[in-house]
Structure 1
Amino acid sequence: MRLKPVVFTVLLTVAFAYYVYIPLPDAIQEPWKLMLLDAGFRATMHLVREEMFSILVHGFEGVMPGVKVSDITFAGIPVRVYEPPAGGEGHLRRGLMFYHGGGWALGSAKKGSYDAINRMVSDELNTVVVSVEYRLYPEVHFPVPYLDCLAAAKHFLSPEVLAKYAIDPERVGVSGDSAGGNLAAAVAQEVNTNN
């Protein structure tokens, strides 16, 4: 009977080693540290998949049923527009451009926590949020993601679009996380320089 725990331990050790091991160049010092770090990141990604965030999104849809979500294009760039519930007639609303993170290679603001956060921001701050689906690496290279975000922002700032969504042109901002924060800063600088 003592054989079962030993077999289980050996199998668990082999499975762990198989999961952790990745081939690395010989020049890397202490490769086991890099392997463990990589395994930790991969394990985290497995635990926090998009499916888990979909529960969060559906929860926000229930809490914020008045937020209208539209998938359209601005200057040929796919965007998702979040419009807060109608109210405060005669008052202009805020506008916010949002650029998702992902190292210019991953991600979509239409899924998971980004979608949930944009719904919440739109509802709680009475803000029209425009989330930009800029093109990603490896299909495109720098500066294409930046140019996509800039084109969408310029379209959003046009008087026709601001009027359509009842946005105060003096209360428009840009935001993003990680790589999206970099894009937001670059777009804000370019728009301020040319105005």
Structure 2
Amino acid sequence: MRLLSLLLTVSLTLALAYYIYIPLPDAIQQPWKLMMLNAYLRTSQSFTKNLDLFCYFVRFKTVISIYAGAVPGVKVSDITFAGIPVRVYEPPAGGEGHLRRGLMYFHGGGWGSYDITNRMVSDELNTVVVSVEYRLYPDAHFPVPYLDCLAAAKHFLSPEVLAKYSIDPDRVAVAGDSAGGNLAAAVITQGNTKCSF
């Protein structure tokens, strides 16, 4: 048993020394500090990459489980509002004769999928959600994204569109995250609109 412990300790020490050691020029003072820093940075980088892979895996499993049946019945349509591409999420039919809530949603400017979130909001809150696909940087510079969102919002708030989707004009909200949150605040400020949910 002692021999096995000694052999394991020697093996781990040699493996650690092999991992830490890098050949350096003789002129470098305190080469072990540089080697330790290099080993630390390589370890941190490997840990970060593996953590990213783990997070992507968890996100993928979540998306698959939600698509597997957690949001049935939400009708999704890709259309345009005033020439701006939008995706409309309509909750399952129910409560005939009652007007529903409306939500204009501006996603963040980075990479990401908001489809699952919008489906869940539409279903759980009996809300018509409109996600605006405004043009993004670097292809479009300010104020193009803002103008896209403003045009889509004005179209959405027209009496014809509100009637088409059975939306109560007094229960319309505007929301967004990251860059979309900034756009939502700018659209609300421009319209001087009272929004309640």
Q: Aligned-pair distance for 1:180?
A: 1.4
Question: Paired residue for 1:73, among 53, 75, 80?
Answer: 80
Q: Deviations over 1:136-173 (max 9, x none)?
A: 11111111111111111111111221111111111111
SS in 2 for 1:88: coil
Please name the residue that 2:125 is paired with: 125
Identity %: 63
Paired AA for residue 15 in structure 2: V
**Structure 1 unpaired stretches of 5+:** 22-38
2:41 is matched with: 17
Change (3 A) 1:85 1:4: same
Structure 2 Cα separation of the partners of residues 19 and 184 of structure 1: 41
Higher relative contact order (CA 8 A, sep 6+): 1
For this pair of structures, how many residues does the alignment match?
A: 167
The amino acid that maps onto 1:55 is K
User: Is 2:88 the partner of 1:64?
Assistant: no
- Show CA shifts across 1:62-119 (max 9, x none): 1221111122222222211110000011111010011112xx3x134xx2xx222211
Match of 2:103 in 1: 96
State the match for 1:25 in structure 2.
Answer: none
Change (3 A) 1:47 1:75: farther
| Deviation (angstroms), 1:8 | 5.2
| Alpha-carbon contact 1:100-1:107 (below 8 Å) kept | no
In the TM superposition, residue 6 of structure 1 has moved relative to its aligned partner by 3.2
| 1:163 maps to 2:136 | no
Detail structure 1 runs of 4+ shifted over 2 Å in the superposition: 1-21, 42-49, 51-61
Q: 1:56 Cα shift?
A: 2.4
Q: Which residue of 2 aligns with 1:152?
A: 152
Q: Secondary structure of 1:48's partner?
A: helix
Which protein is bigger by CA-based radius of gyration? 2
C-alpha separation in 2, matches of 1:45 and 1:122: 30
Name the Cα RMSD after superposition.
Answer: 2.8
For 2:178, the equivalent position in structure 1 comes to 178
CA contact 1:60–1:119 (8 Å) conserved in 2: no
Q: Could you say which residue in structure 1 is the equivalent of 2:111?
A: 107
Secondary structure of the 2:140 match is coil
Structure 2: distance between partners of 1:174 and 1:43: 37
3-state DSSP of counterpart to 1:150: helix
Which of 147-156 and 82-91 deviates more? 147-156
